[in-house]
Structure 1
């Protein structure tokens, strides 16, 4: 698992390009914040996590469970979900708006008008998925 990328993944890069095209400026992977969010918008007091459907067990067609070492993967996925929930709760407690974008939501064509509307209408702890 050492070869699994944590930063600059394909879905993250697609979202970053879309946000930049819309004129939104952000910071990357602020280690001072819980969970080191993928995108940080200090001006809006908002953070974005881009989650892979497999690693964070989204439940869509892209999050199939491995058939080998089932106990190991169950523990791994459970720990990932617990960590994600803990980080979101810490950020919300500190007054941050948290947006979780799932990998499957970034598949296909990104529509320019869709993202800003969802961003403005989002509430703390909202998630964009497929």
Structure 2
């Protein structure tokens, strides 16, 4: 339940001025956590081409899941927190930062900068558990 609330809260951040990313942060980790809404968390690798990010999610969501777009989540210090994968169409007007490779398909990647405490319940497990990538 907390993951669904967090995922919904994250999308609401696109309505807050100056939180939608026009470009990815300069410093990127090699690995992060990708969470599929209403499913689980998976390790992911981060790469960069000349003009875009490529997130490679390791693992495949259930066949009933239809990934539509990913959201790169960056904290207020411009550190990557993780990637949330949603079904459906991306947020209209959000700049495309790259792509997420998930289950043999590529989906658009958009991004948002947010205080993680606005999208996570402190009494619940984190949306993007570090233990996934250790």
TM-score, with normalisation over the residues of structure 1? 0.29
Question: Where is the helix percentage greater, Structure 1 or Structure 2?
Answer: 1
TM-score, with normalisation over the residues of structure 2? 0.28
Does 1 or 2 have the higher relative contact order (CA < 8 Å, sep 6+)? 2
